[in-house]
Structure 1
Amino acid sequence: MCKTDDSENSDSSTPDRQPGDEQAMFSALLEDSAQDLYEHAPCGYLSTLLDGKIAKINTTLLDWLGYDRGDLVGRKTFADLLTVGGRLYHETHFAPLLRMQGEISGIALELKAADGSRLPVLVTSTVRTGSDGQPLLIRTTVFDARDRRAYETELLRARQESERERERLKSLNATLQKTLLPPALVNVPGLDVAAHYHIASLDEVGGDFYDLFPLAAGTWGFFLGDVCGKGAAAAAITSLARYTLRAAAVYDPDPAAVLANLNTVLNHEYNGDDPRFCTVIFGLLTPDGDDGGFRVTLASGGHPPALLMRADGHADYLPTPDGQLIGVLPDAHIATTTVRLDPGDTLLLHTDGLTEAHTAHNSEGDRYGDDALLEFAQTLAPTTAVGAVAAIRDLLDTFGTGVDDDTAVLALNVPRSTSEEQT
């Protein structure tokens, strides 16, 4: 058995590599890779002297701008590449902050390309210092922001269009809301009237409604109601309820009969998978006696009771208990009551947006409530129709954003005679 000479089997054509040669090749490869990364990085690199003159620029940035290296290095400053507005910002903000902080990042600027076009960029600059801490040069990284600018432009366009659409919707809602309310309350001889509608949101049509209108000679009908829900669906019910009440009152002015007619209409039209209902209080006004007073007959279908503020300073709710929601049941129970308004008395009707308002300016605040409203009325009495509505408006203002539902109020007042006021 013979031994094989390794030297004979080795490839004599392959030169022996010394450890030093491999290290040199590796270093050269790293140097070449670093240089290539600098020149062809996905962002622009720029080095300037302290006076701003360009000392070094990579190929990526040159390609973006369309310049040759000789056009810029040693001949132009970084500020020369900026638009007029960018140059002004550079001199007044960018450069001073860079000197003070030694670094500034994420600044949006525009560079001027060789062909005159503009390149939106994001710029980050740092000051390189020597071992003695003295500044030597400025290194700047430039990111192409064209895609970002296009996205921001499209986002701004979409936002502006959305705002225009919202304004159109607000205008449409406001117009629709006006059609659901009387343009002006009719004049009732011997009676002062006032009303107010507080809109909780401009983006949706509310469901509150009221009206005052003449019937047979010497009688007037009035009502105030609140449809469940908001938006177009609620507006449709509001319109149906308002005109049904007027028509029913002409046919039979008895308040209980009027609400019974409305209940039949709503229950017949909306008794499927999407039932609709409302609360309503309907009243009939007739002059009563020689002193200018009025007899009022009220019927309520699940609505908050009316407030009566007497001329002697007493105030209380008018009892209309157990009145059921209008439109839910085929034969809803209608609660009725009758009262006389003497000179100086004020009758106030309201929707539950008032009593359900939050007393604090957030959703965690307590509800205002019926008891608080009664106390408020007791301190207000005696008052006038205009005075009562003005006081309610001021009260709603104190709730701010706590009023999260529309609120309607209607006040009727029998004014005192001149002799009574003097007394």
Structure 2
Amino acid sequence: MTSLMGKARCPDVTQRYGGLDAAAVDSILRRVASLAAALFDAPVATVAVTGTDGAWFRTTHGSDRVAGPGFAPELWGRTLLPDHSGTAGDTSTRARTVIGRPIHSELGIRFCVAAPVVTAGGERLGTIQVLDTRPRKATDRQMSALEDLSTLLVDELELRLSVSGTVATERRMRKDAERLARTLQRTLLPPALPEVPGLGVAASYHNASAEDVGGDFYDLFPLNDGRWGFFLGDVCGKGAEAAALTSLARYTLRAAAIYDPDPCAVLANLDTVLKGEYQGDDPRYCTAVFGVLQPEGGGSFAVTLAGGGHPPALALRADGAVHPVSTKGGQLIGLLPDPHFVTATLRLAAGETLLLYTDGLTEARTETRAMLGEAGLIAHLSAIRPRGSGALLTAIDELLGRLGAGVTDDTALLALSVPSPRNEPTAQELQ
């Protein structure tokens, strides 16, 4: 079987099908030619198409000798295809016997039947033709079957065209959804974190899906008395509803902290707002950690945290040790009738960092398909001992990249670090 698909002078099937995959169309035409030959028990069958240069064979089954460019115009120029002026000579859609005498002395063809390939809209694509050197007659049943084969060819091409269009539309919609998700996600997070004197600050957000708006959030902002408030949380769900809940939670936390910066009071205020906004059988809830930074002498900071059902923060000490800051017992925000929130305090000194994260990090799967977990995260950070908030988030970014498909949920990160004195070596540098 010979195929001219992709040859330099071979035109596309028509402009209508020009966007289809060439290999896929070629495969269809080969099958049609093979079936046509089997239908008539003939040695040669071809599928020809029209083009700017007249009729050209697209696919030939059985003989390479009929695939030459000079043969098609001789056979079809006066029958089923448009003539060289572009006018269709025969507009019938029925299969017919084209010749009953030799028309090509070299090949000695004595039998040829053909069926036009016509779209439902009347667009002439070309023909299916069956050739033989034996003079004989085709039966009505064979001719009817050849017409059916022509119809099936058009149906297959149209189906491919429809699928191709659907796929293209889905790709455009996916790109639009991704752009919308990125834009909406940016509105739910602070465009930049403020500079806190004497403190290194870094944050990052990892989307598990480019098409969905995540529900993780964080922020850092000044309070009225020289202290700083910060929080990180995770709302239930994805998409537009999660985005609305994220926006409500973020702005409620900021407003509540200005009114009363006590961490437990801030979380309780958010709990009240969520219950008032989302009532009935479809409650909305979140987990969160809220903290207050109090600058102290010597460049250190006192930190007070309150947790509501959220994973514990991690304190990375100057000696390389990593300790969880437990708020175990803190309950989900917006779900329970009278939730309990738990506080914890710590001091951040020179060379120390506080890390807040959402559970997309610890629930990521490792190569063994086990969750990374809190213990795995602590072991990883203890081994690499990153210095400062920027280095810490870079290390976690690299970890998430290595986990790849094991990361199935969004991850928000917020790191606060007290820089080491420039003239004092860190514990890592002393190793």
**Partner Cα distance (1:371, 1:417) in 2:** 30
Matched, 1:385 2:389: yes
Cα pair 2:37 2:43 within 8 Å, conserved:
no
Q: Kindly provide the amino acid, as one letter, of the partner of residue 420 in structure 1.
A: E
1:309 aligns with 2:350: no
CA distance in 2, matches of 1:226, 1:294: 26
Query: What is the letter of the counterpart of residue 198 of structure 2?
Result: G
Q: Which amino acid aligns with 1:396?
A: L
Counterpart residue number, 1:171 = 179
Encode CA deviations 1:38-75: one digit per residue, 9 max, x unaligned. Answer: xx999888755953279x99x99995489872499524
The C-alpha deviation readout for 1:57-105, integer Å capped at 9, x for no partner, is 9x99995489872499524999xxxxxxxxxxxxxxxxxxxxxxxxxxx
Deviation per CA, 1:330-360: give whole Å up to 9, x if none: 3211110111100100000000001111113
> 1:189 matched to which residue of 2?
197
Provide the residue aligned with 1:244 in structure 2: 252
**Offset from partner CA, 1:157-200 (integer Å, 9 cap, x none):** 12211211111111111111111111111110110011111110
2:360 alignment partner, SS class: coil
Q: Contact 2:354/2:415 (CA < 8 Å) preserved in 1?
A: yes
Matched, 1:372 2:373: no
Q: 1:196 & 1:77 partners in 2: Cα distance?
A: 76
Change (3 A) 1:238 1:122: farther
Provide the rounded CA distance (Å) in 2 between the counterparts of 1:189 and 1:210. 20
Stretches of structure 2 that go unaligned for 5 or more consecutive residues are 1-35, 45-61, 82-89, 108-115, 134-145
- Seen in structure 2, the aligned counterparts of structure 1 residues 177 and 112 have a Cα distance that, compared at 3 Å, is closer
Confirm or deny: 8 A CA contact 2:220 2:228 kept in the other structure: yes
Inter-partner Cα distance in structure 1 for 2:350 and 2:377: 23
SS at match of 1:307: strand
Which one of the candidate residues 327, 334, 349 is aligned to 1:327? 334
Q: What displacement does 1:277 show? A: 0.6
Letter in 2 for 1:206: G
**Contact 1:310/1:381 (<8 A) preserved:** no
Contact persistence 2:311–2:358 (CA under 8 A): yes
Q: Hey, what's the Cα distance between the residues in 1 that align with 2:97 and 2:259? A: 92
Match of 2:400 in 1: 396
The residue that corresponds to 1:417 in the other structure is: 421
Residues 252-283 of structure 1: CA distance to partner in whole angstroms, max 9, x if unpaired?
Answer: 11111111100111122223110111000001
Equivalent-residue separation in structure 2 for 1:298 and 1:187 (angstroms) = 20
Alignment counterpart, residue 69 of structure 1, candidates 98, 101, 109: 98
> Among 355, 375, 391, which residue is 2:362 paired with?
355
Amino acid corresponding to residue 187 of structure 1 in structure 2: E
State the Cα distance separating 1:147 from its structure 2 match. Answer: 2.0
Q: Per-residue CA shift, 1:288-320, capped at 9, x if unaligned?
A: 11x111111101001000000011112110121
SS in 2 for 1:336: strand
- Compute the displacement of 1:117 (Å): 6.3
Report if aligned partners of 1:314, 1:382 keep a CA contact under 8 Å in 2.
no
CA distance in structure 2 between the partners assigned to 1:121 and 1:325 by the alignment: 70
Residue 217 of structure 1: CA displacement? 4.0
Q: Which residue of 2 aligns with 1:161?
A: 169
Match of 2:197, as an amino acid?
A: P
The 2-side partners of 1:127 and 1:248 are apart by 89
Q: Is the 8 A contact 2:227 2:293 kept in 1?
A: yes
Pair 1:298-2:327 in alignment:
no
Paired amino acid for 2:202: A
Paired with 1:77 and 1:178, the residues of 2 have a C-alpha distance of 73
CA distance in 1, matches of 2:265, 2:330: 13
Of 234, 243, 268, which aligns to 1:235?
243
**Radius of gyration: which is bigger?**
1
Select which of 403, 407, 410 maps to 1:406: 410
Pair 1:360–1:60, CA change in 2 (3 A) = farther
Q: Which residue of 1 aligns with 2:18?
A: none
- Quick check: 1:209–1:242 contact (8 Å CA) kept in 2? yes
Counterpart of 1:338 (choices 304, 324, 345) is: 345
- Local SS of the residue matching 1:331: coil
Counterparts of 2:124 and 2:182, CA distance in 1: 45
1:389 deviation in Å? Answer: 0.3
Indicate the residue corresponding to 1:200 in structure 2: 208
Could you tell me which amino acid in structure 1 is paired with residue 355 of structure 2? L
Secondary structure at the residue paired with 2:423? helix
Compared CA separation, residues 195 and 75, structure 1 to 2 (3 A): same
1:202-237 per-residue CA deviation (whole Å, 9 max, x = no partner) reads 121111001111111421111000011111111111
What SS class does the counterpart of residue 230 from structure 2 fall into?
A: strand
| RMSD of equivalent CA atoms | 3.7
1:402–1:382 distance in 2 versus 1, CA, 3 Å: closer
Contact persistence 2:320–2:382 (CA under 8 A) = yes
Counting aligned pairs with the same residue, the percent is: 49
Q: 1:332 to 1:117 in 2, by over 3 A?
A: closer
SS of 1:74's equivalent in the other structure is coil
CA contact (8 A) 2:360 2:410 kept: yes
